[in-house]
Amino acid sequence: MPQKNSRNGSEHESRHALSIQQKLELYYWMQLTRTYDNQMVAYWRQGRGLGGVFSQRGHEAISVGTGYALEPDDVVAPMHRDLGCYFVRGLTPRRVFAQMLGRATGVSGGRDVNLHGAGDMNLNIVGFISHLPHSLPVAVGVAMSFVYRKEKRVALSYVGDGSSSEGLFHESLNLAAVHKAPFVLIAENNQYAYSTPLHQQMPVENMADRAVAYGIPGLIVDGNDVEAVYAVTKEAVARARAGGGPTLIECKTMRMLGHAIHDGAEYVPRELLEAWEKRDPVVLFERRLLEQGIADEAEIDEIKHRCEVEVADAIEFAEQSPMPDPATVSDGVYAP
Ligand SMILES: Cc1ncc(C[n+]2csc(CCOP(=O)(O)OP(=O)(O)O)c2C)c(N)n1
Ligand SMILES: [Mg+2]
C-alpha cells in the first residue's frame, strides 16, 4: 500500500490549486483511459486484437496527473503504461486504437503496434522505445537541447520499477543531474516487473531513494491520487524550468492486471490486489468530486457516457481503416 510519507503531494497541492473545470478535465482523461482500457482488454481477450497489449489499470492517476502538469511546448517520452498521458497530450483514441490494430491511420502508420513507436513530434511526444529504459537517454538529450538553445522547456519521461535496475536509468539520471538538465523522471512503482516482485530486484525500499546517488530530489507520492501526482509534478516541472535541475518522483501504485494480455498474473497474491482495489484511482477521484460537490451523479454519468461513445467510435474507425500500403515501407527510413 502507499506509504504515509512526509514527502507526499499535500504540501504542494495548495500552491497548485486546480479549478473546478480542471478537476473535471482530469476526471474525464482518467475515465477515458479506463474506458479505453476496459474495451481494449475485452477486444484482445476475444482474440480480435493484434499482438499483445498492456493494461493501464491502476496507472491512470499517474499518466493523467503527470501529463496534465506539462505545457504544450514541453516534450514527453512516455512508456507502455502511460496511455493517459498520450491522450492528455493530444493523441486521439482513434489514432491509438488504429495504432494497436496496425492500421495506416495509426500513430506510426502501421509500422509498429501497441504504444511502441507511438510518437508525434507535432504534439511533442517522443515515440516509446521498446527496449527499457532506452527512452530515458533520449529524453535527457531533449532536455539538454533546451539548455543549449536557452529554451525554457522541460522534458519528462517515465520508468518502471524493473526498468530502474537497468544501466541506462543510472547513466541518464547522472548525466541529467550533472548538467542540471530540465528533466523530470516519473518512477512508476507498480510493485512488479513482469512476474518479479519489487524486493527481488531492488535492495532499497523506495525508487525515490536512488535519487540520493545523483544529488537530486527524490519524492514519493501516492500514485493513486491524481491531484497529488499533478501537484508534485507541477512543482518539479517549475523547478526544472527555472534551472533547478532534475527531480525523481516515485508514484506508488499497483499493476492491477497481468504484465500484458496473455498474463493471468497468478503469481500476484490476491490479498494484495484486493487491498489496492479499494484504492482504485478512478473511483477515488470520482468519490472525491462527488463528496466535494464538484460534480453530481448526472455529470459523472455524462462524462462516462461521453467516454464510452468516444471509445466505440475509435474502435469503429480503426476497424474501417486500411492496412498500410506496402509501397510506403521505406518511408521514413534514412538509409533504405
Ligand atoms: C531491455 C529490455 N528487457 C526486457 C524487456 C521486456 N519487458 C517489457 S516490459 C518488462 C517489465 C518491465 O517492468 P517495469 O519496468 O516494472 O514496468 P511495468 O511493466 O511494471 O510497468 C519487460 C521485462 C524490454 N522491453 N526491454
Ligand atoms: Mg513495474
Nearest-CA residue for atom 13 of ligand 1? 193
Domain that holds residue 243: 10-322
- Does 189 map to a domain? yes
- Does 331 map to a domain? no
CA of 53 relative to ligand 2 center, distance in Å:
15
CA of 15 relative to ligand 1 center, distance in Å:
35
Q: Angle at the Cα of 291 (from 227 to 33), degrees rounded to 5?
A: 45
Mutate to test the pocket of ligand 1, among 259, 261, 262, 263 (most ligand atoms within 8 A of CB): 259
Res 14: pLDDT: 67
- The residues annotated with a catalytic role in the active site are 255, 259, 267
Query: Who's near 11: CB < 8 A, 6+ residues apart?
Result: none
Nearest-CA residue for atom 12 of ligand 1? 193
Res 3: pLDDT: 38
Res 331: pLDDT: 86
Atom of ligand 1 nearest to the CA of 260: 19
CA of 201 relative to ligand 2 center, distance in Å:
11
How far is 135 from 133, CA to CA, in rounded Å? 6
- Does 1 map to a domain? no
Could you write out the DSSP letters of every residue in 274-331? HHHHTT-HHHHHHHHHHHTTSS-HHHHHHHHHHHHHHHHHHHHHHHHSPPPPGGGTTT
Could you write out the DSSP letters of every residue in 23-70? HHHHHHHHHHHHHHHHHHHHHHHTT-SSS-----TT-HHHHHHHHHTS
Q: Angle at the Cα of 29 (from 23 to 34), degrees rounded to 5?
A: 125
- Does 327 map to a domain? no
- Does 330 map to a domain? no
Atom of ligand 1 nearest to the CA of 79: 21
CA of 299 relative to ligand 2 center, distance in Å:
34
Helix (H) or strand (E) holding 88: helix 83-88
What CATH number is associated with residue 290? 3.40.50.970
Res 261: pLDDT: 94
Ligand 1: lining residues by beta carbon, under 6 Å: 81, 130-132, 160-163, 188, 190, 192-194, 255, 259
Res 6: pLDDT: 39
Give the environment of ion ligand 2: residues with CB less than 5 A: 160-161, 190, 193
Please state the domain count of the chain.
1
- Does 329 map to a domain? no
Nearest-CA residue for atom 25 of ligand 1? 131
Res 335: pLDDT: 80
- Does 4 map to a domain? no
Give me the amino acid identity at 157: S
- Does 334 map to a domain? no
CA of 324 relative to ligand 1 center, distance in Å:
28
Cα torsion angle, 161, 167, 172, 178, sign: positive
Cα torsion angle, 44, 45, 51, 56, sign: positive
Mutate to test the pocket of ligand 1, among 56, 80, 132, 171 (most ligand atoms within 8 A of CB): 132
Is-contact 207 193, C-beta < 8 A? no
Cα torsion angle, 314, 307, 14, 11, sign: negative
Mind listing the pLDDT tens digit of every residue in the chain (336 residues)?
333 333 445 566 666 789 999 999 999 999 999 999 999 999 999 999 998 999 999 999 999 999 999 999 999 999 999 999 999 999 999 999 999 999 999 999 999 999 999 999 999 999 999 999 999 999 999 999 999 999 999 999 999 999 999 999 999 999 999 999 999 999 999 999 999 999 999 999 999 999 999 999 999 999 999 999 999 999 999 999 999 999 999 999 999 999 999 999 999 999 999 999 999 999 999 999 999 999 999 999 999 999 999 999 999 999 999 999 999 988 888 886
